């Protein structure tokens, strides 16, 4: 089992920045690829960003490319999502997830463990 706890969400004006953190406990964090997803009201949960276990490969959704940065610190068992130039359409609950894969995962069903989510609201 891996337990994931997100933090760092909140209310920000358009153009602002937030940094989300996801702290992991349980099995070795470095064994998991990590990802961020988001879900807006009435919409499906969608992929945002993913990072592989080590020597990291990174992928982003087109909608956040150039604005968001995913990173991980295996020594701190934490994955981050730096979000810059936020837009109202970024408003959603953001979830981190862990996937027991040697590569990188962008599909929701590839992920084995999920956090409880943190709300991000971007006002116009």
Q: What's the rounded Cα separation, in Å, for the pair 26 and 38?
A: 23
Q: Which residues touch 39 (CB under 8 Å, ≥6 apart)?
A: 45, 46, 92, 93, 95, 117
Number of residues written out for the chain = 124
pLDDT higher than 90, residue 79: yes
pLDDT of residue 12 exceeding 90, the answer is: yes
pLDDT of residue 55: 67
Residue 118: predicted pLDDT: 98
CB atoms within 10 A of CB 115: 21
Which residues, in sequence order, are CB contacts of 117 under 8 Å at separation 6+? 6, 39, 93, 94, 95
pLDDT in tens, 81-111: 999 999 999 999 999 999 998 899 999 999 9
Residue 27, pLDDT score: 75
pLDDT, one tens digit per residue, over 31-48 is 999 999 999 999 999 999
Q: What percent of the chain shows pLDDT beyond 70?
A: 99
pLDDT of residue 25: 92
- Report the share of the chain in percent with pLDDT over 90: 91
Q: According to the model, what pLDDT value does residue 24 have?
A: 96
Question: With contact defined as beta carbons under 8 Å apart, do 94 and 38 qualify?
Answer: yes
Q: Report residue 50 as tokens.
A: 């993913």
């Amino acid at each position: 089992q891996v337990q994931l706890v997100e933090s760092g969400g909140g209310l920000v004006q358009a153009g602002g920045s937030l940094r989300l953190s996801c702290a992991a406990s349980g099995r070795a964090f470095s064994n998991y690829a990590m990802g961020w997803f988001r879900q807006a009201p009435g919409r499906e949960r969608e992929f945002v960003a993913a990072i592989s276990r080590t020597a990291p490969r990174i992928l982003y959704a087109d909608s956040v490319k150039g604005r968001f940065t995913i990173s991980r610190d295996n020594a701190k068992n934490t994955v981050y999502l730096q979000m810059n130039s936020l837009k109202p359409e970024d408003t959603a609950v953001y979830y981190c997830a862990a996937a027991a894969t040697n590569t990188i995962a962008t599909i929701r069903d590839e992920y084995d463990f999920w956090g409880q989510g943190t709300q991000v609201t971007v006002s116009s």
